[in-house]
């Protein structure tokens, strides 16, 4: 008996020698890795080992002798970094992008809301989300936070393409496309949260529109619901100069931030979109409360709303700040790449200081900063052992990427979405060799063409009417 056991042990050790390389799901090699970890480590000739949906090892090419895989992605001397996080959007509005650009005053009320109330449908929201998430995946966005309607359609479309969504059903004081009653979004959100609370890609959230379009009572209800279901809250805040004039009771003409703080909504669980009009006390409240911030540089410039005091927040030590585009009628693309240099430039011009917002700083905001703002930094936002495999690769051989002296600078000041060669989310390849793997682009083209043909005439009439009111 003993002899047999010795023979068996011998066989096992021989077989483990010949298969000493651990089999893994995927290996990425031959690129410069921007880890965006705590020490901002950059790994030349880097390798990432992925098993299932997680990064299990990361290092230089030396670690290659420990692993084998049937799926090896050669980064071809490109730049490998964490997938970017777009912290504020209303993605299905991509069906309307390019409309209402005639110089309409008060565009939100005179154009957006009437257009949405006439043309939004479940079908449009699904198909537009397909388009939007395709563009995100192709632009290196692997996670986005959104406030809109029919969130179950958005969730299905987002999962179909395969990126992550923090989806907040809109709660607003008037009837909307998916709620006949005022504040119907609350009921809708409950069902949506129940359905998606354990999803691998979707994080259900609550999206009270703003402090001026949701009553105090309902905002408190949102807060309580968020605590009960343990879901994040996404809200527009301090976006407009005259916003405080629309706050209720004693808060009128005060501060949105102070108001949200006093009703208990300014906390780690909340993400404020825009946060432009802040006084010094607001800056301190933001720091103390650990509320997340979404900085939407292009949308705020295009809409002439202002430049947020992001640099001062950073100097105070606030690091829960991510980048956002806002809806596709506000920034007409949904990736972050085109806005990276912009996000930096707007701060430099505001503070008249060309030393702030370095490429490293901006890329941190686009990745781990956004993850912190959404309380996801233990899972995504950097490339480290144990984190989820949300990874993008830039090629560095196209003329616009040459020369490539310093990879952070190359991405922030030179790159465009066409330089993204691979997008991996949750360990799954969504884009490879610049090709989308999860949807037929011809089908998407046809779907969007049909939608836009249906919208054209109404949209032009509406623009004419809105312009007359200017």
Please provide the distance, in angstroms rounded to a whole number, between the alpha carbons at the two ends of the chain.
Answer: 95
User: Strand locations in 160-261, DSSP E?
Assistant: 164-171, 202-208, 233-237
198 three-state secondary structure: coil
Q: Which residues of 63-97 are buried (b: 16+ CB within 10 A; e: fewer)?
A: bbeebebeeebebeebbbbbbbbbbbbbbbbbbbb
Residue numbers 436-465 binding Zn ion by CB under 5 A: none
Nearer residue to Zn ion within complex by CB, 116 or 326: 326
- 223 near 289, Cβ under 8 Å? no
Asked whether position 377 contacts Zn ion by CB under 5 A, the answer is no
Write down the least CB distance from residue 149 to Zn ion, Å. 13
- By beta-carbon proximity to Zn ion, the closer residue of 147 and 388 is 147
Please report whether residue 239 would count as binding Zn ion according to CB under 5 A. no
Nearer to Zn ion, 271 or 362 (CB): 271
The minimum distance between CB 299 and Zn ion, in angstroms, equals: 7
Query: Among 234, 229, 302, 296, which residue's Cα sits nearest to residue 265?
Result: 234
State in angstroms the smallest separation of the CB of 101 from Zn ion: 17
Which residue stretches of 305-440 are H helix? 310-315, 337-351, 359-364, 370-373, 407-413
Answer whether 151's CB lies under 8 Å from 186's CB. Answer: no
**Cα dist from 56 to 60, 331, 431, whole Å:** 14, 36, 21
Which residue's Cβ has the minimum distance to Zn ion?
326
| Site mask for Zn ion (CB under 5 A), range 51-90, x = bound | ----------------------------------------
Shortest distance in whole angstroms from residue 236 CB to Zn ion: 5
Nearer to Zn ion, 326 or 390 (CB): 326
Q: Least separation, in Å, of the C-beta of 451 and Zn ion?
A: 21
If the CB atoms of residues 163 and 234 are measured against Zn ion, the closer one turns out to be 234
Size of the site for Zn ion (CB under 5 A): 1
Q: What part of residues 306-335 is at the interface with Zn ion (CB under 5 A)?
A: 326
Q: Quote the least distance from Cβ 301 to Zn ion, whole Å.
A: 14
Residues 6 or more apart from 344 whose CB is under 8 A from it?
A: 356, 357, 358, 359, 361, 362, 412
The C-alpha atoms of residue 82 and residue 429 are separated, in whole angstroms, by 14
Residue 326 or 364 having the CB closest to Zn ion:
326
We find the least distance from the C-beta atom of residue 326 to Zn ion, in angstroms, to be: 4
Nearest to Zn ion of 93, 431 (CB atom): 93
Contact residues toward Zn ion (CB under 5 A) are 326
């Amino acid at each position: 008996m003993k002899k047999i056991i010795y023979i068996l042990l011998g066989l096992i050790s021989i077989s483990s020698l010949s298969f000493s390389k651990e089999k893994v799901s995927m290996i990425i090699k031959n690129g410069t890795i921007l880890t965006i970890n705590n020490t901002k480590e950059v790994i030349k000739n880097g390798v990432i080992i992925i098993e299932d949906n997680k990064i299990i090892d990361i290092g230089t090419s030396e670690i290659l002798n420990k692993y084998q895989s049937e799926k090896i992605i050669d980064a071809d001397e490109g730049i490998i970094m964490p997938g970017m996080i777009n912290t504020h959007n209303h993605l299905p509005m991509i069906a309307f992008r390019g409309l209402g650009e005639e110089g309409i005053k008060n565009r939100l009320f005179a154009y957006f809301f009437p257009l949405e109330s006439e043309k939004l449908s479940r079908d449009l929201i699904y198909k537009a989300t397909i388009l939007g998430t395709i563009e995100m995946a192709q632009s290196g966005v692997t996670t986005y936070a959104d406030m809109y309607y029919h969130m179950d359609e958005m969730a299905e479309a987002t999962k179909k393409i395969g990126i992550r969504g923090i989806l907040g059903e809109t709660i607003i004081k008037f009837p909307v496309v998916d709620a006949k009653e005022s504040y119907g979004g609350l009921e809708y959100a409950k069902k949506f949260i129940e359905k998606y609370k354990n999803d691998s890609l979707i994080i259900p959230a609550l999206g009270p529109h703003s402090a001026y379009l949701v009553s105090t009572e309902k905002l408190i209800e949102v807060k309580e619901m968020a605590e009960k279901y343990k879901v994040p809250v996404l809200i527009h805040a301090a976006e407009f100069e005259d916003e405080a004039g629309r706050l209720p009771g004693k808060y009128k003409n005060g501060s949105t931030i102070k108001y949200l703080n006093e009703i208990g909504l300014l906390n780690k669980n909340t993400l404020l979109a825009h946060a432009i009009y802040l006084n010094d006390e607001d800056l301190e409240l933001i720091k103390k409360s650990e509320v997340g911030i979404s900085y939407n540089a292009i949308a705020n410039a295009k809409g002439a709303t202002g430049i947020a005091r992001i640099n001062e927040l950073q100097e105070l030590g606030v690091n829960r700040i991510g980048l956002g585009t806002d809806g596709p009628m506000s920034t007409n693309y949904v990736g972050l790449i085109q806005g990276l240099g912009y996000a930096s430039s707007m701060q430099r011009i505001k503070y008249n200081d060309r030393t702030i917002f370095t490429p490293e700083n901006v890329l941190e905001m686009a990745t781990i900063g956004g993850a912190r703002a959404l309380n996801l930094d233990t899972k995504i936002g950097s490339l480290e052992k144990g984190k989820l495999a949300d990874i993008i690769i830039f090629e560095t051989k196209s003329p616009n990427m040459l020369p490539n002296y310093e990879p952070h600078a190359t991405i922030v000041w030179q790159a465009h979405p066409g330089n993204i060669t691979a997008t991996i989310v949750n360990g799954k390849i969504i884009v490879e060799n610049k090709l989308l793997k999860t949807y037929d682009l011809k089908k998407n083209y046809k779907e969007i063409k049909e939608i836009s043909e249906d919208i054209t005439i109404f949209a032009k009439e509406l623009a004419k009417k809105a312009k007359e009111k200017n």
